[in-house]
Amino acid sequence: MNFVENIKMAFESIISNRLRSLLTMLGIIIGISSVIAILSLGEGGKSAVTREFEKIGSSTINLRVNGMKAQKSDYLTMDDIKYIREKVEDVKYISPVAQRMGLVSTPMKSRKAVVTGTNPDITYTSGLEIMYGRMFSEREFTEGRPVVVIDEITAGMLFGSKDATGQSLNIGSKGIQKKAIVIGISKSAAAIFGEDEGIPAFVHCPLTFSERLFTSDSAIDTAYITAGSKEDGDEAVSGALNILQSRHNNRGRDIYRAESALKELEQINRVLGIFTAFIGAVAAISLIVGGIGVMNIMLVSVTERTREIGIRKAIGATTTAILLQFLTEAVILSLSGGLVGITVGISGAMLVGEFAGISPVLSMKAIAGTILFSSAVGMFFGIYPARKAASLDPIEALRYE
């Protein structure tokens, strides 16, 4: 019997038992679709993170104070920021950053908040995207005016609309609350999670204003520096470090640490990759269950067709021909389930991505690997039933009722 006849007989057997074949493929379909959806959404998430970092640019460096070694006198000051901006030619933008946990509230609602005191350069150094309104100006920063930029989720939860520019709220710690005007709405990195009470508000305001809100702890522990180009990054950091070490007299104590935004991107992508691989591996376990289903149904098929096998062997069919017939049937069942699973997985990923705001990234390597894997599952779990069929004694098979 040639290969074409094997395929023909396999399809005839599958079609004659449609419901049983569909139920057999169901485990394969679920496993393959889960793996494809998870991998494509995982890659889409990594691409989304990469795009956000690209907005910041490869020439941005985060300069942080090593809190384990620093004394109070080692923390950055506004004079440091001003001096670095004026004296280091390679520094294009520099933003002081002091983040504190606080509260934002209206007469009706309140919400925990991450309050970032900074300057107008933050839109360039961190890629902060303003959706409505504007960022506070240099004058507002210098004068410490009570103006804030809040994220879109917070605007929706506090004011019922993403465009909440012109509204007022109270901001600060539990002890000190001051009234501020919302002048801008920023795009939220947490927007993919929707409006969740567990997600804090993200607020940006002039550092000179936040110092009045958090009087007991207003130290500047971070500065974002953007160089004129990627090549100027090392010179910009070197110049900034020299100034800080000289002004604070702490040279040789390893107080300040500088990291490129690209390094942080690599770390985030590594974590996302591990998480995606782990979830994908868990989903792949269902393929083993599906493979066992294929083996089970093939054993039933061998039992049902014992007399047919005996007749074929009696008229000259070889052991190899019988083996290939049943093995082909098992592979076709798994491969068909794999193809349907790929279609379902892609559709599911598109649907979830639409709601989550993520564009799934479909990898041809992943699709090809999935097809090969589903075929391998059929072959592996089809070997035992096929060998059992091939090893039947023709005389005993003909006697089987």
- Residue 391, Cβ density class (10 Å: 0-12 exposed, 13-18 middle, ≥19 buried): exposed
Higher-pLDDT residue of 14 and 65 is: 65
Q: Give dist(CA 32, CA 157) in Å, integer.
A: 39
Q: Report the range out of 81-95, 132-146, 238-252 with the highest average pLDDT.
A: 132-146
| Lowest-confidence region among 67-76, 83-92, 297-306, 369-378 | 297-306
Do residues 176 and 275 both lie within one domain? Answer: no
Question: Is 224 found in the same domain as 280?
Answer: no
Q: Average pLDDT, stretch 134-158? A: 93
User: Which of 129-138, 143-152, 171-180 is the least confident region?
Assistant: 171-180
Residue 139, pLDDT > 90, answer: yes
Phi, psi of 218, rounded to the nearest 5 degrees? -120, 20
Asked whether the predicted pLDDT for residue 47 surpasses 50, the reply is yes
The yes-or-no verdict on residue 19 having pLDDT over 90 is no
C-alpha dihedral (157, 161, 165, 169), degrees to nearest 10: -30
And the tokens for 11? 């399809």
Domain boundary among 208, 226, 254: 254
How many residues can be counted in the chain?
401
pLDDT in tens, 228-278: 776 677 788 888 888 899 999 888 888 888 776 655 656 666 776 776 677
Place of tokens 């309140």: 110
| Per-residue pLDDT tens digits for 196-214 | 556 889 999 999 999 888 8
Q: What is the mean pLDDT of residues 362-383?
A: 73
Residue 194 pLDDT more than 60?
A: no
C-alpha 188/C-alpha 154 separation (Å) is: 9
Angle, to 10 degrees, between the axis of helix 306-314 and the axis of helix 261-304? 70
> Is 276:116 a contact under the CB 8 Å cutoff?
no
Q: Which of 230, 254, 278 is the last residue of a domain?
A: 254
Count Cβ atoms below 10 Å from residue 377 Cβ, excluding itself. 28
Co-location of 272 and 247 in the same domain: no
Q: Is the residue at 337 inside a domain?
A: yes
Is residue 379 a contact partner of residue 330, using CB atoms and an 8 Å limit? yes
Q: Is residue 261 part of a domain?
A: no
- Of residues 121 and 316, the one with the higher pLDDT is 121
Q: Is residue 357 part of a domain?
A: yes
Q: How far apart are CA 393 and CA 304, in angstroms?
A: 15
Nearest to 377 by CA among 338, 320, 323: 338
- pLDDT tens, residue by residue, 267-320: 666 776 776 677 666 666 766 776 777 777 766 766 666 676 677 777 776 777
Q: In which element (H, E) is residue 180 found? A: strand 177-186
Q: Residue 147 pLDDT more than 50?
A: yes
DSSP bridge partners of 260? 61
Number of domains present in the structure of the chain: 2
Q: Looking at 210-219, 350-359, 384-393, which range is the least confident one?
A: 384-393
User: Are 342 and 371 in contact, with CB atoms under 8 Å apart?
Assistant: yes
Helix axes 364-390, 319-356, angle to 10 degrees: 150
Is 80 exceeded by the pLDDT of residue 82?
yes
Positive or negative torsion for Cα 110, 150, 171, 118: positive
Tokens of 258: 């500088």
Whether 71 and 220 map to the same domain: the answer is yes
- DSSP class of 104: E
pLDDT at 268: 66
In this structure, the answer to whether residues 93 and 238 fall within a common structural domain is: yes
Residues 75 and 146 in one domain: yes
Please indicate, yes or no, if residue 61 is contained in any of the structural domains. no
Give residue 282's identity as a one-letter amino acid code: V
Helical (H) or strand (E) element with 227: strand 222-227
* 37 and 76 fall within a common domain: no
- Does residue 53 have a pLDDT over 90? no
3-state secondary structure of 66: coil
Q: Do 52 and 188 contact (CB within 8 A), yes or no?
A: no
Which of 235, 233, 388, 372 has the alpha carbon at shortest distance from 323? 388
| Domain limits for position 44 | 3-52+267-399
91 with 211, same domain: the answer is yes
Give 91's contacts (C-beta < 8 A, 6+ positions apart).
84, 85, 225, 226, 227, 236, 239, 240
Rounded to an integer, what distance in angstroms lies between the CA atom of residue 271 and that of residue 202?
Answer: 24
- 172 confidence band (pLDDT: 50, 70, 90): confident
pLDDT, mean over the chain? 79
The verdict on 37 and 90 lying in the same domain is no
Give CA–CA dist 189/84, Å, rounded. 30
Query: Of 200, 232, 254, which one is at a domain's C-terminal end?
Result: 254
Kindly state the greatest CA–CA separation across the chain: 101
Question: Where would I find the beta strands (DSSP E) of 333-388?
Answer: none
Give yes or no: residues 124 and 176 share one domain: yes
Q: Are 120 and 176 found together in one domain?
A: yes
Same domain, 89 and 46: no
Query: What is the model's pLDDT at position 193?
Result: 47
- pLDDT computed for residue 394 by the predictor: 60
Of residues 261 and 37, more confidently modeled: 37
Is residue 192's pLDDT more than 50?
A: no
The larger pLDDT score, comparing residue 98 to residue 279, is at: 98
Residue 252 is encoded by which pair of tokens?
């040789």
User: What number is the average pLDDT over the span 370-399?
Assistant: 67
pLDDT value of residue 92: 87
